[in-house]
Amino acid sequence: MGVLLFCIALTASAQKAELSKSDMVKLDFKALAISKEKIKAKDASLLLAYEQLINTADQALKFNTVSVMDKSDLPPSGDKHDYMSIAPYWWPNPAKPNGVPYIRKDGEINPEIKNFPDKENLPRLCENVYNLALAYYFSGNEEYAKHASKLIKVWFLDSATAMNPNLNFGQAVKGVTVGRAEGLIEVRHFIFLLDGVELLKKSEKFKEGNQKKLKKWFLAFSDWMQTSVVGKDEMESKNNHGVWFDATNLAIAKFIGDKDLVNKIVKSAAERLDVQMDENGLFPLELARTTSLHYSTFIIDAFTIIAQLSEGTDINFWTLVTKSKKSLEKGYEAMLPFWADNTTWTYKEIKPFTMSNAYQCIWRAATKYNCTTCKELIRKNSADYQKLLINLL
């Protein structure tokens, strides 16, 4: 890929940033196996990242179980087992005595979202399961698997605390709707939790019965995604929401073993890429946002996950070129110069862009598109590159 060989300028002005805890990366299981052998052989290039992972997992052992029962207010259904969240960019209308119906302020987060902790607890749960499972995979320490299993059971399986397999009340807007299709993007973290589950399969602490129950839960959630009004509306979304719907739907379909659905989703995602990308490899609906660099990166991340999940299906998303000559590779070519130096971005960005949000995409470009300078870009933007978890992935 010639363009990638020279398009990244490793400038001194590039923002220094660590990989934040929330930046989980879709796992490449073949790469993990190679890393595991290197760690066994005491490969110095990976030991600092491995030690950092173990430190992170040790902290995750202290993470208490969370569930949808933790919220103080009831969803409209009256059942706390139903997930509930408030739309982040909607605020009380100052022109109305009681503030309703709420009005939208794009990119500005209403602190009321904290009144319903489901939205905060779910990604924390998925992140901790992910880190614990990785630590178990590399170390063989069953304590990590035991705690990950406990976290999964409380959120999904125990009758007293389990989340109902729906998202009918996600991103509600006071005075407007009890739940929106946009809320579905909040469960994209399932992608990373399911990666963790894959690593836990051989553990004595994550017994076969729990695996079967979890698969049954996700089978029900998958059915809800395909048939509910909320699910169908999100499926029709024309921006990053539709792409993240496909990415989440695809991860779940692969987990439950629905091959027909897997191929259907990958085909749908290819059609989205063809329609949503412009001739320059950018995404106009993301460029229209007030944090356009963030959302342009966000959508590439979703397509990258789809490409990883497409491996072994009827369509190889990494090499796909659509009927109007769009491709994921073209998207990478368009974005890499801006990831290298985001000061050159000319679209609206009302908040500082965090370079680490692009690490997972840049890392994949290094291996999938022969970008010889991509890892060096991450190295120059990280205070302690060798400790980054991404080195193991």
Which residues have C-beta within 8 Å of that of residue 96, sequence separation ≥ 6? none
For the chain, give the mean pLDDT: 92
Could you tell me the end-to-end alpha-carbon distance of the chain, in angstroms, rounded to an integer? 22
Residue 216 maps to a domain = yes
Q: How far is CA 110 from CA 113, 348, 374, in A?
A: 6, 20, 36
Residue 329 maps to a domain = yes
| Contact yes or no for 306/247 (Cβ under 8 A) | yes
How large a percentage of the chain has pLDDT more than 70? Answer: 94
| Contact yes or no for 42/50 (Cβ under 8 A) | no
Q: Judge whether residue 238 has pLDDT over 70.
A: yes
Output 132 or 22, whichever has higher pLDDT: 132
Residue 305 maps to a domain = yes
**CATH at residue 293:** 1.50.10.100
Mean pLDDT for the stretch of residues 364-373: 94
| Contact yes or no for 345/297 (Cβ under 8 A) | no
Residue 126 maps to a domain = no
- Give the pLDDT confidence score for residue 23 in this predicted structure: 56
pLDDT digits (tens, 9 = 90+) for 103-130: 999 889 999 888 899 999 999 999 999 9
pLDDT digits (tens, 9 = 90+) for 315-359: 999 999 999 999 999 999 999 999 999 999 999 999 999 899 999
- Give the pLDDT confidence score for residue 186 in this predicted structure: 94
Q: Which pTM does this prediction carry? A: 0.92
The values of phi and psi at residue 169, to 5°, are -120, 35
Q: Which domain holds residue 143?
A: 2-70+132-168+185-392
- Write out the two tokens for 61: 């052992």
- Give the pLDDT confidence score for residue 12 in this predicted structure: 32
Of 1-10, 86-95, 168-177, minimum mean pLDDT range: 1-10
How far is the C-alpha of 203 from the C-alpha of 63, rounded, in Å?
Answer: 20
- Give the pLDDT confidence score for residue 4 in this predicted structure: 46
- Under DSSP, is residue 172 helix (H, G, I), strand (E, B) or coil? strand
Give the residue among 249, 365, 283 at the shortest CA–CA distance from 8.
365
Q: Judge whether residue 10 has pLDDT over 80.
A: no
Domain count, the chain: 1
